[in-house]
Structure 1
């Protein structure tokens, strides 16, 4: 089993039972790494708001961590990066970047005159790459939706012009999501409408040049870091300890789980240990592919669901890692 196929399998474990991933074609990872390896200036967009019981709203824990990991990896190959988000997620990203990617600029997306702001910002920054990760995408009805089909326009700055404006400037556009309502996921319209609850209503209508789906959007932050590590020979992934502290800082800044709406050390109702098992899998795959020695036997992952229940769709239980890259 080769590196790309194994990485894609790790990323696309449907632990949360969303239903989308089994229907999708293989991710275009050779195309992705070819595009990313030449990145000079990258804009990363994230931030998904969650309405709380008292009517207020704040950003969720899926998005900041993955974006920070991707930004740090891009910084590691000499790419200048800027992360853009709106007010609901700004404090979360401030802490995430301070901890993981301090070289990255953080830009606040205004609620008013957003289209003009986006055009001017992109014109000044001149990105070679635009990456959205767990950012709501506008559906065919002209509204933004959460996974329950609820309209969330009042909680979000209209960031929809980013894709088209970035393409006009010649930037490669990459979008990452896990449920189909994220920016750029229009590439999977047929699969989303057929397999995701409320899919026809919530599916984002625009498509990125490259669309990547995973069990949790954050995971592709590690996935991109893995691709760049193997391509450049520089190990760019965070440690489990650094990732744990990152999530703690995001939660301390107000971040909530997007499914439970609670301030806990979870992402998409999945315990931290589950996410760390995925990071461990990506790390060991990356090191093996880069030629580093890891203990035999090949990686073995197990995890349980909430309250000790076995997950109906657990992570890969065992697989052979590819031979080291020559």
Structure 2
């Protein structure tokens, strides 16, 4: 039996992909309700929605925006969750088009993202050079001050007119405009004020896709009520705002995963099924990206160690996930 969009065989593979990336391996107890609500609200498999949107929107020589960045205490260094997913998206989409990906993040995160890009087989260049470079991703710093962010958002949307905007593990503000970590603490002074970029994109008809794992990331506004009810500090945080960590901005499509990087990989795996071509990087490259990000200063968001782990999960486990995803594609 076939549906209008994909075959039942493909749909079953996508279901397996989503089962894999939502295994509660760390026992946090939140991914299951987050995933269920995301599926209910969107009435479809989230990664399939995202992959279809990418396939239909990304044309030759287009610009594509991918935003990431989550500084973690005590030194507010960029964590390993986010950059790897951003590069996974960029390199996977680049394999089916001549798209020009631009990764937008805090200025301090750019050296880490550059190291990750190089490990992933992409050149890292200035936005002015990405259109003439081969197999490249551009890096763009974004302001932490609201007025500057508003101005920057208008400038870059007008200049690049992206076909799509994806956010992977990008910390998002709550309804009071405050950015929090999972512990309920205010990290606003360290976070790029990315919402103006997303709103400017939406005003210009640019579809948005959010990937997150905890409820305080861009996109989770789509299921904000659930986040407030099910996630620790979702409704009431530890800072003066008292409004909780639930991110307010709702992207057009929301892809939840146990680890946000895994959500990005799952989108590329599903896109691989749609175009009948393996777009995923190897398990070895996954491990190399994690380790090179750590060597550039990135830390495991759970432990704070620069050890190539991500969300408290070992490098080898992340590599193994890639191996299983590739098996599902066969």
TM-score (norm 2): 0.83
Q: 1:121 to 1:131 in 2, by over 3 A?
A: same
Give the distance between the partners of 1:250 and 1:30, measured in 2 at CA.
29
Q: What do the CA deviations read for 1:28-82 (whole angstroms, capped 9, x no partner)?
A: 3332222110213310000100123xxx331001111111011101111112211
The counterpart of 1:58, out of the listed 77, 81, 89, is 77
Q: Which protein has the bigger helix share?
A: 2
Aligned positions of 1:97-136 closer than 5 A: 97-100=117-120, 101-102=122-123, 103-112=136-145, 113-136=148-171
What residue in structure 1 maps to residue 292 of structure 2? Answer: 249
Aligned match of 1:87 in 107, 110, 121? Answer: 107
CA shift, 1:149, in A, is 0.4
4+ runs deviating over 4 angstroms: none
Residue pair 2:167, 2:218 contacting (<8 A) in 1 also: yes
Distance 1:208 1:49 in 2: 21
Residue 234 of structure 1, CA deviation: 2.1
Q: CA deviation at 1:273?
A: 2.1
> Which of the residues 25, 28, 32 maps onto 2:50?
32
Alignment-derived partner of residue 324 in structure 2: 281
Contact 1:192 1:203 in 2 (8 A): yes
Deviation at 1:229, TM superposition (A): 1.2
Shift of 1:217: 0.4
Deviations 1:254-279 (A, max 9, x none): 00111111211210111112212221
Q: What is the distance in 1 between the residues matched to 2:47 and 2:318?
A: 21
The counterpart of 2:283, out of the listed 217, 240, 258, is: 240
Partner of 1:77: 96
**What residue is the counterpart of 1:16 in the other structure?**
26
Alignment TM-score, normalising by the size of structure 1: 0.84
Give yes or no for the alignment of 1:165 onto 2:200.
yes
Number of the residue aligned with 1:304? none
Q: Deviations along 1:72-95, whole A, 9 cap, x unmatched?
A: 011111122111111231111011
Shift of 1:118: 1.4
Q: Distance in 2 between matches of 1:224 and 1:129?
A: 14
Correspondent of 1:197 among 232, 239, 257:
232
| 8 Å contact from structure 1 (residues 137, 183) kept in 2 | yes
- Unpaired segments ≥5 residues, structure 2: 1-8, 40-44, 124-135, 236-243
Question: Distance between the aligned counterparts of 2:193 and 2:141, measured in 1?
Answer: 12
Query: Is residue 266 from structure 1 mapped to residue 309 from structure 2 by the alignment?
Result: yes
**SS of residue in 2 equivalent to 1:138:** coil
Match of 1:139 in 2: 174
Structure 1 CA distance, aligned partners of 2:31 and 2:230? 9
In 1, Cα distance between the equivalents of 2:262 and 2:322? 8
The structure-2 alpha-carbon separation of the partners of 1:245 and 1:28, relative to structure 1 and needing over 3 Å to count, comes to: closer
Distance 2:49 2:73 in 1: 37
* Cα distance in structure 1, aligned partners of 2:29 and 2:176: 23
Q: CA deviation at 1:243?
A: 1.2
Secondary structure at the aligned position of 2:50 is classed as helix
